[in-house]
Amino acid sequence: MSEYLPGLEGVPATKSNISHIDGERGVLAYRGYPIESLAEHSTFEETSLLLLDGRLPTARELAEFDEQLRGNRRVKYNIREMMKSLPPTGHPMEMLQTAVASLGMFYPGPEGLTGRDIREDLDYVHSMTVKILARMATLVAMWEHIRNGYDPVPPRTDLTYAENFLYMLSGKEPEAFYADIMDTCLVLHAEHTINASTFAALVAGSTLAAPNGVIAAAIGTLSGPLHGGANQRVVEMLEDIGSPDNARPWVEKQLAAKAKIWGMGHREYKVKDPRAVILEKLVEKLAAYKGGQVSPLFETALAVEEICRERLAHKGVYPNVDFYSGVLYAEMGIPADQFTSIFAISRCAGWLAHWREQLADNRIFRPTQVYTGEGIRDYVPLRDRG
């Protein structure tokens, strides 16, 4: 009998050279480059190409990739009209999954990746990667206006990826400071080994499903509160706590009830998530930029972290990436239910890199199970059942 490990914890599902985690030391690296270096020096466009191609691009390669992304930001009006028919109360992640899945209908390509020639067609893979990645931010920003009864703001090709997203989201060209923060956040969230949503992308990709369907599967997985949806829950939690003074009794109550403290703990890390370290500094940087005013959310978050360090550090429970990302987005004026959508925009780069890697040496995922049901039984006709 095969050994059963809940959640496949610790079970290798694939071989990959895209990213690496050392949970004991708090290390995260994309293609060998530490996340701290990329957050400080790289851009989302460059980081995406690094993840896809496995190396830092030349200036010419990056310029070409950037130009391709800028040239594919627009979507057909049919998609806009479809989005207008969706309930405005729907969650942005539900919209995003629907819209991304629909891209294959409005931009038809091969019905399925059935031939080895298509699997090895890097031009096709690159083209689909650019189109999906370019349109993710467009769809998220469009929805913010459509659900409020307005026409979306058209994308611009003279802005960077982060600048254009913030411009489309608010209708105003963003200050460079805010665009830089958003760009860093996109870098931080772009990839994180074989997490749940990436595994969903691998499984879908292994069937040779169309890439829009692969990314839609990943989006649906990311939406769960135990994955990407946690950043929204963190802000709701901090708002519920209310102030730093309430943090200790709230945390003590949660621990006594063995209830979850959102944004705390990660299966991979036994120290503070390196992305959380960077995000905390970004919140501090934003506070200084706004005149030194620290928001109640951030003060409460700091208090919760300190109390959790006292009570949970011996268990290796520290803040993860969700703990401060939600606070940062809230300080930037972004609606809480859009937090996970921004996560999806960024993580799409990693999903597409893994999709490409899976196609290079593909075998359909077909795990086994530990059967716990009844043995073979005789069928009893309906008339003979008591």
Question: From the first residue on, what is the mean pLDDT of each consecutive set of 10 residues in the chain (386 residues)?
Answer: 77 94 95 98 98 97 98 94 96 96 77 52 85 97 97 97 98 97 98 96 94 96 87 91 94 93 89 94 93 85 93 91 91 93 97 95 91 94 92
Q: What is the pLDDT of residue 352?
A: 97
Q: What is the pLDDT of residue 99?
A: 96
Beta-bridge partner residues of 20: 29
> Could you tell me the CA-to-CA distances from 106 to 49, 103, 134, 220 in Å, in that order?
26, 5, 15, 20
Rounded CA-CA distance 350/136 in Å is 13
**Residue 318: left if φ>0, alpha if ψ -120 to 50, beta else—which one?**
beta
Domain range annotation of the chain: 230-331
Asked if 151 contacts 145 with a C-beta cutoff of 8 angstroms, the reply is yes
**Of 79, 21, 77, whose CA–CA distance to 273 is shortest?**
21
CATH of domain 230-331: 1.10.230.10
> Could you tell me the CA-to-CA distances from 152 to 101, 130, 165, 379 in Å, in that order?
20, 22, 12, 59
Q: Catalytic one among 183, 266, 273, 354?
A: 266
Q: Catalytic one among 322, 361, 378, 384?
A: 322
Q: What is the pLDDT of residue 268?
A: 87
Q: What is the pLDDT of residue 252?
A: 93
Both tokens of residue 313? 């550090």
* Annotated catalytic residue 322: yes
- Stated pTM of the model: 0.92
Rounded CA-CA distance 46/52 in Å is 10
* Annotated catalytic residue 378: no
* Crossing angle of the two packed helices 211-222 and 339-360, in degrees rounded to 10: 130
Q: What is the pLDDT of residue 111?
A: 45
